Structure 1
């Protein structure tokens, strides 16, 4: 059985008002369940493109649609599939390392990702069959 929880939504504080705007904030390990070691963002992704299509051996992530809409589909090794629609910049999605995930974006979407580890190609599981083999063995 995995030591990581299933994917779940995180609601960040939304401070402000419509007439002045908003700010959302988190501090280390207050809402994000890991130390952030890497931050990156994706943007201008054509709507017809599906990104992701991988899982990780170790890296945990929180995905935030800081602009636009992102549809994230996660699949766990036990076959549980969930679809999340991120479109509020104060809501993030925790993605554990054992979750196969794909993302599809509206044209205006900007995705911010906070990750628990620096980039390491060896941490990626890019073949779906390998994902099933690796994670089912650990259940």
Structure 2
């Protein structure tokens, strides 16, 4: 995978004087079937999350409140994506190293995943991730 495969996807936003509503459906708005949902919150100032890659799992990150950055790395190129709108989601396909950082106080990050938790799907060591990208 390449950084160009990481995409911001606009989710439906229904505006109403009583407040806005955004929804998403797997295989329609999110480009995979959703098998797991979790969220990050109460991140202390200066802390980061993530800093790993997945072998097969796709993730879809949404900033529900506040803002944070996502550092993306495909082993060749790097970029930072800023998330701060609850109707924008970032699709991160497998084999992209990602870290969430620079959380504003009170930020909430919702993560939709294509698979249940499986520790063997993770690359937590950056050098092992880079080695896995090399042709065999």
TM-score, normalising length: structure 2: 0.93
> What whole-Å deviation, never above 9, does each CA across 1:8-47 have from its counterpart, x for those lacking one?
1011011013x32101111221121111000000100012
Give 5+ residue unaligned stretches, structure 1.
none
Q: 1:97 corresponds to which residue?
A: 94
Separation (CA, whole Å) in 2 of partners of 1:41 and 1:135? 29
Distance across 2 between alignment mates of 1:137 and 1:96: 19
1:16 equivalent in alignment to 2:18: no
Aligned residues: CA RMSD: 1.7
Task: Give the superposition deviation at 1:3.
Answer: 9.6
What's the counterpart of residue 6 of structure 1?
5
Of the candidates 14, 29, 35, which is equivalent to residue 33 of structure 2?
Answer: 35
Aligned length, in residue pairs: 135
**SS where residue 137 of structure 1 aligns?**
coil
What pairs up with 1:45-64 in 2 under 5 angstroms? 45-64=43-62
Among residues 19, 23, 26, which one is paired with 2:24 in the alignment?
Answer: 26
Instruction: Indicate the residue corresponding to 1:72 in structure 2.
Output: 70
In structure 2, stretches of 5+ residues that fail to align are: none
Contact 2:3–2:78 at 8 Å: present in 1 too? Answer: no
Partner of 2:123: 125
Structure 1 residue runs of 4+, over 2 Å off?
2-5
